[in-house]
Amino acid sequence: MHKPPKAAPVSTPWKNYLAGLPGLGARPLVVGVLTSFGGATAALKMKPRPCDLVEWRLDLTGQRNGMWLERCFALEQAGWPVLLTIRSAAEGGRWFGEEPERLTLYRRGLDVVHAVDVEINNRLLPPVIAAAHAQQKPVIGSFHDFGETPPRAVLEEVIGLGWTSGADVVKLAVKLRSPDDLALLLDLLRLATPQRPLCVIGMGAPQARLDLARAGSCLAYGYLDHPTATGQQACAELAAQLRGG
């Protein structure tokens, strides 16, 4: 997975919509990943809240005849900002439907949620960005490699493609295989700015996730009900470690 795609050109000057992610940049925001309706029910009862926003993985929860929208709305109404992600099987998720349907779901979700996450190499990225920005909502452009950490040149190109496409946050999640991989990711965080923040995740190593968050990664992912990646911690534990220094 070392050949990033061509980014679709954007016809308007770049601007960001980061106001849709309150607090971003002041410290790493903790994202609690939800994979089930039961997990959402439990999350609504949690006090104190263990995360800053909730990622609703629609590819894992399923739609339940539209009940997912009601549950996202309930989370939002309770003060939990929701990030909607629909990851396909080719991207490491469990969405097996057609792309037009996935685009429709993103558009429906944007009426409710705070933000959305789409893979940078997905052809849906430009229309999702257009739909999100029309509602003044931010988009996270993601890149995943579950097998290794690609070379620096590849990752820098991916970051550039994310910005060119109009993403508000670029997220890199790669598998760590050596200390050199972590050193590379830490160095890449120097490219981040308050206007163009980076989320960088080293999969497979819980300590590396903490190190990257402390070094400037704008988002840190933990789970609310079930882990979705190797080395992913419970978000309450992750938040406690980050906030405890």
Q: What is the reported pLDDT for 22?
A: 85
Q: In this predicted structure, what is the pLDDT of residue 14?
A: 56
Amino acid 26: pLDDT: 86
Please state the CATH superfamily assignment of the domain spanning residues 27-243 in this structure. Aldolase class I (3.20.20.70)
Which residue of the set 3, 171, 175, 226 is catalytic? 171
Tell me what pLDDT residue 2 has: 54
At 5 the pLDDT is 46
CB burial of 182-217 (b: ≥16 within 10 Å; e: otherwise) equals bebbbebbebbeeebbbbbbbbbbbebbbebbebbb
Residue 51: name the closest of 130, 114, 1, 7 by CA.
114
Q: What pLDDT score was predicted for residue 38?
A: 96
- Distances from the Cα of 194 to the Cα of 3, 121, 187, 243, angstroms: 28, 24, 16, 20
Give the whole-angstrom CA distance, residue 176 versus residue 145. 10
CB 59 within 8 A of CB 52: no
Rounded to whole angstroms, how far apart are CA atoms 216 and 50? 20
Where in the chain are the domains? 27-243
What parts of the chain have a pLDDT lower than 50? Answer: 1, 4-5, 7-13
Give the model's pLDDT for residue 3: 52
137 labelled catalytic? no
Q: Out of 114, 133, 144, 175, which one is annotated catalytic?
A: 144
Close Cβ partners of 161 (under 8 Å, ≥ 6 residues apart): 4, 5, 6, 7, 120
How far is 68 from 65, CA to CA, in rounded Å? 8
pLDDT of residue 11: 36
Respond yes or no: is residue 133 known to be catalytic.
no
**CA distances for 15 relative to 124, 148, 165, 237, angstroms:** 19, 32, 11, 34
Q: What pTM, to 2 d.p., does this model score?
A: 0.92
Token pair of 199, please? Answer: 């989320």
